[in-house]
Amino acid sequence: MRMIKKWLNNHPELKRSLEGLFKLSGLIILLVVVCYLIQKAAGTLNIL
């Protein structure tokens, strides 16, 4: 893990793109969870 960190510090542009990728994947996961919760809420409302 330390080796990877050292290697990334030597390649700042790669580190930046990786951080961007993590943020993007985090956003997508958040979006999917929100959509799932809305769908679940809509389903329970339809039953009532």
* pLDDT of amino acid 16: 92
* pLDDT of amino acid 34: 96
* Domain residue ranges in the chain: 2-47
Give, to the nearest 10 degrees, the angle between helix 12-47 and helix 2-10. 110
Q: Which residue has the tokens 């330390």?
A: 2
Tokens representing 9?
A: 């510090």
Q: State the Cα–Cα distance between residues 8 and 4, nearest whole angstrom.
A: 6
Overall pTM > 0.75: no
* pLDDT of amino acid 47: 64
* pLDDT of amino acid 4: 83
**Mean pLDDT of residues grouped by 10 in the chain (48 residues)?**
85 90 95 94 78
Half-sphere exposure of 15 (CA within 13 A, CB side): 9
